[in-house]
Amino acid sequence: MATDRRASWLKGVLDLLVLATLTEGENYGYEIAKTLAASGLGQIKGGTLYPVLNRLEEAGLVAAEFRVAERGPGRRYYRLTAEGHATLAEQSRLWRSFDESVRSVLDRGEPA
Amino acid sequence: MSYFDDLARHLRERGVSAAEIEGTVADLTAYAEESGTDPDEEFGPAADFAARLTAGRGGATGATGVPGEPGEPGPDAETWRFHTDAFHEVVLLNRFGDQGWELEGFDMKSGFTLSRDLARPQRWEYHREMAPGFRRKAVAERLAPEGWELALAWTVWMYFKRPRSASLGPAGELDAAPEAPGRRFFYSRRFYAFIVVYVLAIAALIAGWIVIADDDGTAIGFLVGAVLGGLALVLPGLRRRR
């Protein structure tokens, strides 16, 4: 039950988190997944992450560039666009406001 | 066929350009190598993953307002897969569609993949057309005015879906979803009869060949090849039954 609820929360905010991982510069899929895992969000599978990246790209919030590697297969690097930066700022504000409301209600429900 | 070959084929069928497929496959190959994971485990069945990678409308909406893809079941959705044969599949798809199952994808390994919204299950109906690749667009355009949406295309087959609410209104929604079927394999009697007739026909052909041409080796080689080739065409799902 706890896992289901956590997965549900993550689903609602994963695109925002992916945008946030790109604020320090461009990155590629596996490194994005590792960054999210290192933040305590658990291992996000590639099958979940890549469709999110594709949708963000289609929406113009990230731009992707494929680069051939000297050795081994190439990688697609993602970076935030200006629209992505603006969306991240706006949605982060809304999320924090939502988080504050949830905390407020939960704090009232906490036994003294 | 490797996972990424299979994925590339599904992406091609969905109209993704060769250059984009090449970049995607290279990137995902690098991901699998770096993470040390099995692609099937990491990305899910190739047909489903291709559907999720190429879909950008409907479904859930994340925090940024970017719509989720219809092929990605949310926390309130369940997924179920089944195998069947070409004789029986449309009947079954409609039977399961009436129980709220929406067709999401197909591949040789997993069979048909369907999902169902647990919170608000709705009934679906299905239609199949046979068309070569160059006619697919025309077929989809012909059926679109009737509300048919292409669910998937595989080899010469095109599978269309339509919510029953398009014709029934509110009755298209289910009050409660019945349990997912306990079986995953549904092969028809007609399918087994076809196998028997097919093998007998090939055997008769070869017997005639042996009598007329007096060439046992070539004839037997042809027989083995024909039987294996025919079975590979019509029995893709059975190899997963064991």
Predicted complex ipTM: 0.86
Q: Confirm or reject contact between B49 and chain A (CB < 8 A).
A: yes
Give residue B89's pLDDT. Answer: 92
CB A34 within 8 A of CB A17: no
Using a CB-CB cut-off of 8 Å, the residues of chain A touching B25 are 73
Using a CB-CB cut-off of 8 Å, the residues of chain B touching A51 are 52-53, 55, 69, 72
Examine the pLDDT at B88 and tell me if it is beyond 80. yes
Using a CB-CB cut-off of 8 Å, the residues of chain A touching B27 are 28-29, 66, 73-76
Between A99 and A112, the more confident residue is: A99
Examine the pLDDT at B198 and tell me if it is beyond 80. yes
Q: Is A40 left (phi over 0), alpha (psi -120 to 50) or beta?
A: left
Q: How many CB pairs under 8 A join A and B?
A: 108
Sign of CA dihedral A57, B3, B32, A73: negative
How far does A102 lie from chain B, in Å, by closest CA? 16
Task: Report, as an integer, the average pLDDT of B200-207.
Answer: 83
Share of chain A above pLDDT 70, in %: 96
CB atoms within 10 A of CB B176: 7
How far apart, in Å, are the Cα atoms of B212 and each of A80, B136, B223?
A: 73, 44, 15
Give residue B240's pLDDT. Answer: 40
Beta bridge pairs of residue B122 = B173
Examine the pLDDT at A1 and tell me if it is beyond 70. no
The phi, psi pair for B176, rounded to 5°, reads: -145, 140
Pick from A72, A71, A70, A52: nearest CA to A62: A52
Query: Exposed, middle or buried, B11 (CB in 10 Å: 0-12/13-18/19+)?
Result: buried
Between B185 and B59, the more confident residue is: B185
Looking at every residue in chain B, the average pLDDT score rounds to 80
CB atoms within 10 A of CB B183: 8
Q: Confirm or reject contact between B118 and chain A (CB < 8 A).
A: no
Encoding tokens for residue A59?
A: 């929406």
The phi, psi pair for B152, rounded to 5°, reads: -165, 160
Examine the pLDDT at B91 and tell me if it is beyond 90. yes
In chain B, the N- to C-terminal Cα span, in Å, equals: 20
CB B87 within 8 A of CB B128: no
Least confident of A17-31, A43-57, B207-221: B207-221
What pLDDT, in 10s, does the model give residues A58-85? Answer: 889 999 998 887 777 789 999 999 999 9
Facing A74 at nearest CB: one of B26, B63, B65 = B26
Pick from B30, B163, B34, B54: nearest CA to B105: B54
Integer Cα distance of A92 and B84 in angstroms:
47
Q: Confirm or reject contact between B72 and chain A (CB < 8 A).
A: yes
At A37, which CATH number?
1.10.10.10
Examine the pLDDT at B81 and tell me if it is beyond 70. yes
Give residue A3's pLDDT. Answer: 57
What pLDDT, in 10s, does the model give residues B114-138? Answer: 988 877 788 999 999 999 888 888 8
Domain count, chain A: 1
Give residue B59's pLDDT. Answer: 39
Give residue B62's pLDDT. Answer: 52
The reply to whether residue B29 touches residue A73, judged by beta carbons under 8 angstroms, is yes
Pick from B1, B109, B11, B106: nearest CA to B55: B11
Radius of gyration from C-alpha coordinates of chain A: 16
Residue A82, domain extent: 2-108
How far apart, in Å, are the Cα atoms of B23 and each of A22, A53, B15?
A: 20, 14, 15
Between B216 and B42, the more confident residue is: B42
Between A29 and A42, the more confident residue is: A29
Integer Cα distance of B229 and B225 in angstroms:
6
Q: What confidence category does residue B27 fall into, taking pLDDT thresholds of 50, 70 and 90?
A: very high
Using a CB-CB cut-off of 8 Å, the residues of chain B touching A1 are none
Examine the pLDDT at A19 and tell me if it is beyond 90. yes
Q: What confidence category does residue B216 fall into, taking pLDDT thresholds of 50, 70 and 90?
A: low
Least confident of A21-35, A83-97, B158-172: B158-172
pTM beyond 0.80: the answer is no
Give residue B215's pLDDT. Answer: 64
Report the chain B residue with the minimal C-alpha distance to residue A3. B75
Give residue B39's pLDDT. Answer: 93
The reply to whether residue B27 touches residue A69, judged by beta carbons under 8 angstroms, is no
Examine the pLDDT at B175 and tell me if it is beyond 80. no
Give residue B64's pLDDT. Answer: 58
